[in-house]
């Protein structure tokens, strides 16, 4: 049902004719070891080598986005966040608490039939989707 998870990043990089450099390598390591929405500054902070420049992180992330390895995880007040694409982690959606800002992942997704219907009815070929639920988390509701 689900498409097979992609192999090593190295393979993908090679496929994309990208040079494997320490900055790119380490940016991928961060996302792989911490597969959640991350703002660029935090990716930078988690790099093994702290001398790597912020600009390089931006450039690497942009490159990975255009290769489909990363996707933007949408807006947060202080800058854009990114996460691994569905090819590299399980497809999921976000529950976003409007009070505390906490983001929780949920696995359930029944949109495939909807995507097919859209294609039939509008001719638009859906390749991916992004679904977020906003509301109040149990913790905030309790207090």
Partner DNA sequence: TTACGTGCAAACCCTTTGCCTTGTC
Partner DNA sequence: GACAAGGCAAAGGGTTTGCACGTAA
Residues that bind a second copy (CB under 8 A): 72, 74-75, 80, 95, 97-98, 104, 106, 108, 110-111, 114-115, 117-118, 122-138, 141
Q: What span, in angstroms and rounded, lies between the C-alpha atoms of 123 and 93?
A: 25
Minimum separation from the CB atom of position 88 to a second copy (A):
17
Q: What span, in angstroms and rounded, lies between the C-alpha atoms of 130 and 89?
A: 14
DSSP 29-61: HHHHHS-S-EEHHHHHHH-SSTTS-HHHHHHHH
Q: Bridge-partner residues for 103, per DSSP? A: 96
Say whether residue 70 binds DNA (CB under 7 A): no
Q: Which span sits near DNA by CB under 7 A: 49-57, 109-117, 118-126, 132-140?
A: 49-57
Q: H or E segment at 93? A: strand 93-97
| Out of 24, 31, 83, 85, the residue judged to bind DNA by CB under 7 A | 24
The site for DNA (CB under 7 A) is made up of 18-24, 39-41, 51-56, 58-60, 62-63, 77-80
């Amino acid at each position: 049902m689900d498409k097979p998870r992609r192999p090593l990043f190295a393979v993908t990089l090679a496929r994309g004719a990208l040079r494997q450099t320490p900055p790119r390598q380490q940016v991928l390591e961060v996302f792989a070891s911490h597969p959640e929405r991350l703002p660029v500054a935090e990716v930078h902070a988690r790099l093994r080598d702290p001398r790597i420049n912020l600009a390089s992180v931006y450039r690497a992330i942009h490159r990975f986005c255009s290769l489909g390895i990363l996707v933007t995880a949408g807006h947060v007040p202080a800058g854009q966040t990114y996460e691994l694409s569905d090819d590299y982690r399980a497809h999921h959606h976000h529950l976003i608490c409007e009070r505390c800002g906490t983001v929780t992942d949920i696995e359930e997704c029944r949109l495939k039939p909807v995507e097919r219907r859209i294609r039939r009815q509008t001719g638009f070929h859906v390749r991916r989707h992004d679904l977020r639920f906003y509301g109040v988390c149990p913790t905030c509701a309790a207090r």
